Amino acid sequence: MSSVPETGGTISNPVISGFHPDPSVCRVGEDYYLACSSFEYFPGIPLFHSRDMVHWTQIGNALERPSQLSLPVETASSRGIYAPTLRHHEGRFWLITTNVSDGGNLLFTATDPAGPWSDPIRLPGVKGIDPDLAWDEDGNCWCTTAGMEQIRIDPYTGECFGPPRRLWSGTPGAKAPEAPHLYRIGDYWYLLIAEGGTERCHGVSIARGRTPNGPFEPCPANPVLTHRGTDHPIQNTGHADLVQGPDESWWMVLLGVRPLGGTPGWHVLGRETFLAPVHWVDDWPVIGEVSPAIPAPPWPLQPTVAVPVRDDFDLSVLDPCWISPRHRSADDCTTKERAGWLSLRARGTSLDAPDVTFVGRRQQHLSCRARTLLDPAEGSGGLAVRLDERHHYDIEVVAGEVRVIARIGPLRTVVTSRSLPVGPQVLRVEVSATRNPTDARSGPDTLSFGIEEPDGTIVELARLEGRYLSTEVAGGFTGRVIGMYASTGTVHFDWFDYEPLDS
């Protein structure tokens, strides 16, 4: 645990690193809560708590039961759960989101954001994605979705009232108006949106009106935030939410990416959560710089909590940071079969399969090292860096052999292999970011796969180019996840160690 930064200094951005996109935030007293998209992963919608908006701790996942989150095996990567909105109203927390693979728009409630959250209230009358919730002075609840379609709902039952109406939908001709959030601030209702697509042209625009239904007047300075057309180290800035601090200052959380390498630049961690200060001029928000270091909020900061570097699987339940594609069953993933070990039972035969038994955590640092101790006596499996079924690198132990596998689009190859003695093995992957490339063709990073022998000797088996596990190559909306998997039988993992190597 590091020392507390002095008030008036700077803080590091992103405030939540790794694959944590589409942030939505609310404040209750001195506490801030934040939710993110989770797409095809289970459990869904990670939830974070902070006292200073800078240091965030994951307190759980909102959707942790099959009754809350259905992701059929045919759910494609980057489908599933899109863009939640988190709000607090009348003593309850409200979470609205879209399951684009099953169920459409869904609403959940809780008295404690750490859970448990309710089963879903279904909203068949609410069309579109990226739903938002806002209450007016008369107690009416307004739901606005991407494309800026708005309808009044009963949030307790899901009933809709009247036909939907169209609202201001951003800059004429700009693609993908989405991520609406509606607020009453001072004398106006503000409609904040993202537009331009979630790639390099992403941006944030805003309009205001006298009622929650408009008509809305666009800000003359739109987009109020974008890094399009710049060489800024943070790109794709957009999909934002506003929150007011206890001192009446205003702040924005938003997503962005950190591309590395040469041209065109590749981001591998997915879209991350950044923070920016906001001040108001003529009743319009002016967004401060979104940089790797920004001025700290004007209140005491909490101590920095170190990223957990090791899990010995001693608890009966997994830490909330662990996620799996589409499904996780106690029959296939348990810490109760062998005390102090994580036991994985194979379903799919490889990371290519949509029903693979895989448990991973988001890669949160541009340079890092992950290690695990695997006992393959009852099956085969290994350690993988996953972007999706068609883009992953694996180091796998099977039948007295260790091999490194690369899946890149339609191509799958065993890069190298060597024999191993019988018994548990320490597998490792080290990610080294590319800094200041001299060649425009340089990729974002290099991944080194190997084993550790009993005397501590590190045997490197392969070094692989990182660009093929990037969004710019694979497409989609997610980021890298590093974890353990089973390909046949049952394999046991004694521990998993994740170590940041960023300076």
Which are the catalytic amino acids?
A: 22, 178
CA distance 188 to 26: 19
Cα torsion 354, 356, 357, 360: sign: negative
On whether the CB atoms of residues 376 and 360 are closer than 8 A, the answer is no
Q: Which two tokens stand for residue 224?
A: 């109020």
Q: Answer for the pair 367, 432: CB distance below 8 angstroms, yes or no.
A: yes
Contact in structure between 325 and 41 (CB atoms under 8 Å): yes
Q: What distance in Å separates the CA atoms of residue 145 and residue 98, rounded to the nearest whole number?
A: 10
- Token readout for 452 is 């550790």
Intra-chain end-to-end CA distance of the chain, in Å: 16
Distance in angstroms (rounded) separating the CA atoms of residues 67 and 237: 34
| Interatomic CA distance for residues 463 and 239, integer angstroms | 35
Distance CA 467, CA 153 (A): 45
**Residues belonging to the chain:** 503
In 3-state terms, what secondary structure has residue 471?
helix
* Integer Cα distance of 485 and 493 in angstroms: 10
500 Cβ contact list (under 8 Å, min separation 6): 307, 309, 364, 365, 367, 368
User: For residues 111 and 33, what is the distance between their CA atoms, to the nearest angstrom?
Assistant: 13
